């Protein structure tokens, strides 16, 4: 039963190896012009090689020349694809910025109206509100602070509020600089400006939680920190922000560097604001000028 297939295979191999002669003759004189000995296997190999060569050439022409734009249906140039990819990335980034700005405006409206933010950040802020961050200065405290002020790393300045005993907040000075523009809400200046060298550290005035760390065209790099008892401190025109939204900060901790960013900035300085229960207050009532 197995001899028949073997015989057929041998016959097929024999036919493929059978030799033939291809001769080209002159039609009129029958003079031999060309003669070549070949087999069916040679013919198959030769045509297979030609198909491979021509197929490779066609592929190269289509893949690496503008010919593909005419041969391949609905083909889009790679440059257009890259432009479309970049456009999608920019659109996604703009959507993220729009969402952040919308959230910022909503939170700002709540803060300015005297309300409290009902989100995870406020929950964190309430957790630290149990600590007595705002305290009255006793004579002993004042004495100790004066002794330590010379060697204090952060140069903590304390001033007794003799004119108004109701003001018991002790705030850390945000920068080591002079005040160039004071609090004037009638002219729309809701804070004070500190002039200081560029890239000097900006420090938190009180323990709290960062509720905003972002860039705006008017105020440049801005950080807002929510403290206990409805107080919010605002630091504008920074060159670099060191903290992000949701970070906890301690009194005197560096949060940014002095800069000149934003449309309203005219040189390296810090614009510092204090908001208490949704209303702006004069920072110089809580820190030394």
pTM given for the model? 0.45
Domain boundaries, the chain: 15-23+31-75, 76-113, 117-285
pLDDT band at 3 (very low <50, low <70, confident <90, very high): low
- Of 60-64, 164-168, 202-206, the range with the lowest mean pLDDT is 164-168
Q: Where does residue 235 rank: exposed (0-12), middle (13-18), buried (19+ CB within 10 A)?
A: buried
Question: In terms of DSSP H, where are the helices of 113-243?
Answer: 120-128, 139-148
Cβ(275)–Cβ(212) below 8 Å? no
Cβ(249)–Cβ(204) below 8 Å? yes
Cβ(133)–Cβ(228) below 8 Å? yes
Task: Please write the tens of the pLDDT for every residue from 13-60.
Answer: 877 778 878 788 888 887 887 787 888 888 888 889 999 999 999 888
Q: Which fold has domain 117-285?
A: Glucose Permease (Domain IIA) (2.70.70)
């Amino acid at each position: 039963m197995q001899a028949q297939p073997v015989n057929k295979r041998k016959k097929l191999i024999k036919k493929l190896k059978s030799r033939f002669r291809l001769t080209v003759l002159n039609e009129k004189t029958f003079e031999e012009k060309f003669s070549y000995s070949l087999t069916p296997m040679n013919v198959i190999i030769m045509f297979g090689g030609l198909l491979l060569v021509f197929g490779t050439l066609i592929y190269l022409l289509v893949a690496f020349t503008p010919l593909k734009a005419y041969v391949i249906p609905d083909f889009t140039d790679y440059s257009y694809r890259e432009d479309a990819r970049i456009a999608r990335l920019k659109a996604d980034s703009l959507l993220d910025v729009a969402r952040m700005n919308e959230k910022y405006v909503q939170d700002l409206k709540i803060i300015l109206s005297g309300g409290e933010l009902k989100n995870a950040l406020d929950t964190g802020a309430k957790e630290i509100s149990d600590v007595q961050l705002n305290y009255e200065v006793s004579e002993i405290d004042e004495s100790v602070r004066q002794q330590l002020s010379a060697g204090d790393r952060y140069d903590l300045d304390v001033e007794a509020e003799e004119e108004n005993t109701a003001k018991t907040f002790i705030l850390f000075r945000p920068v080591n600089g002079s005040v160039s523009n004071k609090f004037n809400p009638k002219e729309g200046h809701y804070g004070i400006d500190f002039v200081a060298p560029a890239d000097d550290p900006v420090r938190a005035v009180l323990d709290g939680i960062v509720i905003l760390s972002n860039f705006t065209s008017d105020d440049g790099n801005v950080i807002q920190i929510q403290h206990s008892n409805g107080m919010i401190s605002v630091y504008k025109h920074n060159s670099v922000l060191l903290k992000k939204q949701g970070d906890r900060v301690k009194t005197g901790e560096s949060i940014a560097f002095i800069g000149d960013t934003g449309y309203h900035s005219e040189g390296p300085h810090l614009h510092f604001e204090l908001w208490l229960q949704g209303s702006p207050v004069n920072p110089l009532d809580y820190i030394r000028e």
